[in-house]
Structure 1
Amino acid sequence: MTSSTDETNHKQKYIQSYGVEGIEDLEDYTENGLHPVNILDILDGRFEVCHKLGSGGIATVWLCYEASEKRWRAIKVNAASHSSMDSPELRISRALKNQAVGSEDLERHHIVMAEETSTFWIEGPNGKHLCSVLPVLGPSLSQWREMAVGFGAVRIQKVCYELTEGLHFLHEHGICHGDFRPQNILMRLADGGLDHLDPDELFELISLHNRHEVRTLDGSHSPNAPKWVIEPLNWYELKDLVLDNVAIVDLGEAFELDSPPRSLGIPRPYASPEVMYGGAPLGKESDVWSLAITLMEVRTGEQIDGFESPLDRMENIAGPIPPPYRSIAAEKLYRNLLRDFDASSQEDMPKPHPPSEKLLQSTGALTELFWKEYQAEGELDYSSPEIPTGIEDYLGEEFWETVPITNGDSVGENEPTTMLRPYRIPKDELTMLTDLLRGMLMYKPHDRTSTSSVLGHSWFTMGLGDEKLNIEEPEKQLFDIKREAQSRTTTEEIVSQVNSQKPSKKISKSEIGSREIAPEADTSELKTNTPGIVPSPRPRGQKRFILSVSQILSWLSTCLPILLSIIILWKLRHGPESTTIEKLEVVNIFITPNRPPVADAN
């Protein structure tokens, strides 16, 4: 998302954070920027802020509990500069309603968006902010891919088909998403989501959030910023609630086909050539390019990185960049090199020259030839033929996936239940997937495969043969391990297994009492991962037969003083010397669980 602040004019105001991941840019807490939200704030008099779900330059999204309805909601708080009833998302919502598209249609086609009837306004030190009430969804597609166990294509194909189906639905109704990427695709939660938990129960299941105290450069607090910024909710701790179903969100860059914008704020790794360099109008074909990059990342489980620049990445997967983009791309390369030269000592590098006409008319990879020309003294040969696309080479590389330990391996105390395993996409699938992506990554927009053709491609319906076992078998193996663990696993084994899975978060034996082992259940709807400490969803009001933390601590607060009295009396009666006790007073010890500590408002 594009920052709401003017990057060229503002000066740094806040001390930047280190070691706290996934937080918003602190400099966006300024006049006309983000609204300062603190944990336990009450929004609109009914939504208690309990955790953060996400953030960007134009909005923050909060996990809130609506006590009167006993349900959880995601509240999106827009920056003041992006708060308008004519915002792109609300405008698209009205356009779809004018086409008789209802909420059920959106739900069926994997789309979740703000509606005008589910908004409210709040005022703060940075201005007036439009807030949207949304259902609580799970982790992003990228996070789901990191949590997914198994290396086969079946689950991946299902998810990829759903996100393609959703994008196709938008295109069929004259809408372009404009910012289609894994971060804007969320996974749905099992029926009821978090609604079977109240805030105290939720805090028993998740770790304390990492946070950073927001201070200005002079060390003071600013009324424009919250006292703390926190990391988003760690969905790994609630992974048993996450389904293999997608929800396309964040239509903040969306537009109607008959009124395309001049530019989009989509990050460069997912931006099509016409978005990055111009030369062609923006339209649904721009979404198709972004979809291709998304499909590639979901299938491999890795972001397309390791390249020197976005152009280098583009040429490696789609071939040398042609006109009309070539001259603009070359000019940007030249400016970047000139900027680096001006910022350096100018002794270790030659001064770059503007791209030559010969370079612009060549058909070779621009990044490679430009770099050679930049470093070379004499004339270069630009007659090299156009290199083929590198999609197949990239997809043919070896990847690493997290998979469960097989039944043949031992799973005992202090041993992990998952392992890293090298994996290559099978050759038959590689051929089909390459064919699909190559058609979507054409430089000329009108040459790209449409979403309807993508849905009909053989990659989604190919017979995978033994490959199906690679995705079904890990789930069965993991369920068997989980079932055995429930019948024979001791407290020490649970501690060691969880700690081996998440080295950064250690739990103690005392915490196990607050965790409910998921009972045997139908795993066709829920993801089954490592032997978990997260409860399976249960209907509201269903009785649990496992003691909670509050029950255990209440029992201890009553019995502990009595037990101490007995020990002291026994010790004095049977000690080496006779002692008379004239008066013994035992003070009750009260131990109660609290929510995560929250700094005071001051």
Structure 2
Amino acid sequence: MVSQSRYMPSNLEHVEDLEKYRRGGFHPVHLGDKLEKVGAKHRYEVIHKLGYGGFSTVWLAHNLIEGGYFALKIVCASESSYGPPPPVKAVLDSHPGKIFVTELRRFVILGPNGSHICQVLPLTGPSLLSLSRVPYRLRPAACKNLGRQAAQALAFLHKRGLCHGDFTAANLVLAVSPALHRLSRQQILQLLGTPVQELVHPTGPKTTSASSPKYAVEPADLSKLGSSHLTDHLMVIDFDQTFGFGKTLPSGVPPSPGFHLGTPLASLAPEVIIEGAAGPGSDIWALGCTLFRMRAGIQLFTEWHNNMASNVLGDIFDTVLGAPPSKWRKIPFRKNGWPAASPRSGTDKAIDTCEFGQEEPYPDEDLRAKVYGIWDENRSKTGPALKAAESPIFWTVDPNVVPHWGNVRDGFPHIPPAEASQFLDLLRRMLDYDTKRRITADEALKHPWLAGGKK
């Protein structure tokens, strides 16, 4: 039986699932809310929204007592324990560069939907995902620099027996300048713009109005902080999927989640989709997909047709990377598109068998064509230097003149052939079907494409 919707869908482009404003779900937050009472004062005041996920909403807050700006991640009431376990956090916090974003502290919020953990996190800049889609594109030099930092972060984790589990562009962010914390609240909001709001409308009188906020808020575009307040230093976030690998797991470190790894399908390695074999190799696969996303501004593998695993595998095997090994040529699937061996396939007994690698890959859709089809910023080698207002990390694309994939248009040069050759070689090594041949993070750092990003 399908449950009735409690709220009218929002017209805003990026807001959380409003249906989760119910008992055990999200905590209703309003701009100006003051949180964590300390004596007669409150420590934090909410001034903007930063984002959301399946289990939390994230808010920009001003510390009214000690000063500075922080991210407050308010978790669903049903998630009583949240974040990486202490042994994992200890490894993350041991990095000398402090590139892994972990909670500084936490407190509890009691609300109409239950008791919520609120994680206090350092404020960071925009994700590489947000900077690699219209209207933004990462500059080629920045891709190499940030890609190298990403590989270094992954190498650090793997040497300590940890896999990130969701190493995608959404979880790689830019660090902010310390000068940002010296701005007034008015200056911050002048940079980010007034928060866009829309009233939340319950679908019926039985919906408890206290369970939801009065209005939904669209997340801030952190790229608007600009080159004065954004750095080219990479930080890594979201360790809720982190797990250990190796013969002996340290006490308190979770083992591989197998089929239940939460990496988005477009970045999920085929051995995880088909066999549940999550490990360092699946992190490398996700990094390869991320590097392509950064450099090309689009996904390498698509999640078309209801985000089904069978279609993602078809995109991998029949177009981009070519025929799979014999053990993956015929795979039984259930109706929801997941392999029959996966717990995600449910109990539906209707099974169809898909045969992959029966046809030659389409020459205009294989990996080589995709890499050589990358278009670059409209700037000639003899052109002017960056203007003061332009960012050395990313540029703004006019969505009305974005070229079609693989087509050369006036003013839109393609990736230089020499770089394309290097990049293609790196991706082929990172996206090898055989995890034993798949390049490691340390090996990737020695590859010419990433080594060229060394400052």
TM range (shorter): 0.7 to 0.9
Question: Residue 72 of structure 1 is aligned with which of 69, 73, 92?
Answer: 69
Distance 1:264 1:453 in 2: 24
SS in structure 1 of the partner of residue 436 of structure 2: helix
Deviation string 1:322-380 (CA, Å, 9 cap, x unpaired) is 4544444x525x6559xxxxxxxxxxxxxxx9656xx74x7425xxxxxxxxxxxxxxx
Aligned residue type for 2:57 = T
Identity between Structure 1 and Structure 2 (%): 29
Superposed displacement of residue 389, structure 1: 9.0
* Closer/same/farther in 2, CA of residues 299 and 150 from structure 1, 3 Å limit: closer
Q: Answer 1 or 2: which has greater strand percent.
A: 2
Q: Are positions 1:271 and 2:260 aligned together? A: no
Superposed displacement of residue 433, structure 1: 1.1
Q: Is the 8 A contact 2:76 2:116 kept in 1?
A: yes
Residue of structure 2 equivalent to 1:184: 171
Aligned residue type for 2:439 = T
Superposed displacement of residue 144, structure 1: 3.0
* Closer/same/farther in 2, CA of residues 438 and 385 from structure 1, 3 Å limit: closer
Distance 1:322 1:388 in 2: 22
Q: Are positions 1:318 and 2:294 aligned together? A: no
Residue of structure 1 equivalent to 2:447: 457
Deviation string 1:220-268 (CA, Å, 9 cap, x unpaired) is 7622111111111122432221111111101111112242113112211
Distance 2:208 2:36 in 1: 25
Q: Are positions 1:297 and 2:289 aligned together? A: no
Q: Is the 8 A contact 1:214 1:226 kept in 2?
A: yes
Higher mean Cα deviation, 310-319 or 146-155? Answer: 146-155
* Closer/same/farther in 2, CA of residues 385 and 21 from structure 1, 3 Å limit: closer
Superposed displacement of residue 454, structure 1: 0.8
What is the aligned-residue RMSD (CA, Å)?
Answer: 3.5
Question: Residue 106 of structure 1 is aligned with which of 83, 95, 110?
Answer: 95
Q: Is the 8 A contact 2:145 2:453 kept in 1?
A: no
Question: Residue 219 of structure 2 is aligned with which of 232, 250, 258?
Answer: 232
Distance 1:190 1:254 in 2: 28
- For structure 2, the 5+ residue unaligned runs are 38-42, 250-254, 305-310, 339-349, 386-394, 402-410
Q: Are positions 1:256 and 2:238 aligned together? A: no
Aligned residue type for 1:55 = Y
* Count of aligned pairs: 402
Superposed displacement of residue 52, structure 1: 0.6
Q: Are positions 1:29 and 2:5 aligned together? A: no
Distance 1:21 1:455 in 2: 37
Residue of structure 1 equivalent to 2:5: 12
Distance 2:453 2:46 in 1: 47
Superposed displacement of residue 307, structure 1: 7.2
Q: Is the 8 A contact 1:297 1:304 kept in 2?
A: yes
Distance 2:365 2:374 in 1: 18
Distance 1:385 1:422 in 2: 27
Q: Is the 8 A contact 1:185 1:246 kept in 2?
A: yes
Q: How does 1:120-139 map to 2 (within 5 A)?
A: 120-139=107-126
Q: Are positions 1:51 and 2:39 aligned together? A: no
Residue of structure 2 equivalent to 1:566: none
Aligned residue type for 1:141 = L
SS in structure 2 of the partner of residue 247 of structure 1: strand
Superposed displacement of residue 301, structure 1: 2.2
* Closer/same/farther in 2, CA of residues 65 and 304 from structure 1, 3 Å limit: same
Distance 1:146 1:260 in 2: 31
SS in structure 1 of the partner of residue 299 of structure 2: coil
TM-score where L is the length of structure 1: 0.60
Q: Are positions 1:164 and 2:151 aligned together? A: yes
Deviation string 1:113-145 (CA, Å, 9 cap, x unpaired) is 225xx1111111222111111111011112234
Distance 1:146 1:463 in 2: 21
Q: Answer 1 or 2: which has greater helix percent.
A: 1
* Closer/same/farther in 2, CA of residues 114 and 10 from structure 1, 3 Å limit: farther
Q: How does 1:171-570 map to 2 (within 5 A)?
A: 171-192=158-179, 194-218=180-204, 222-240=209-227, 241-257=229-245, 258=249, 259-262=255-258, 263-277=260-274, 279-304=275-300, 308=304, 309-315=311-317, 316-328=319-331, 331-332=333-334, 355=352, 360=355, 363-364=357-358, 390-399=366-375, 401=377, 406-407=383-384, 421-462=411-452
* Closer/same/farther in 2, CA of residues 264 and 428 from structure 1, 3 Å limit: same
Residue of structure 2 equivalent to 1:549: none
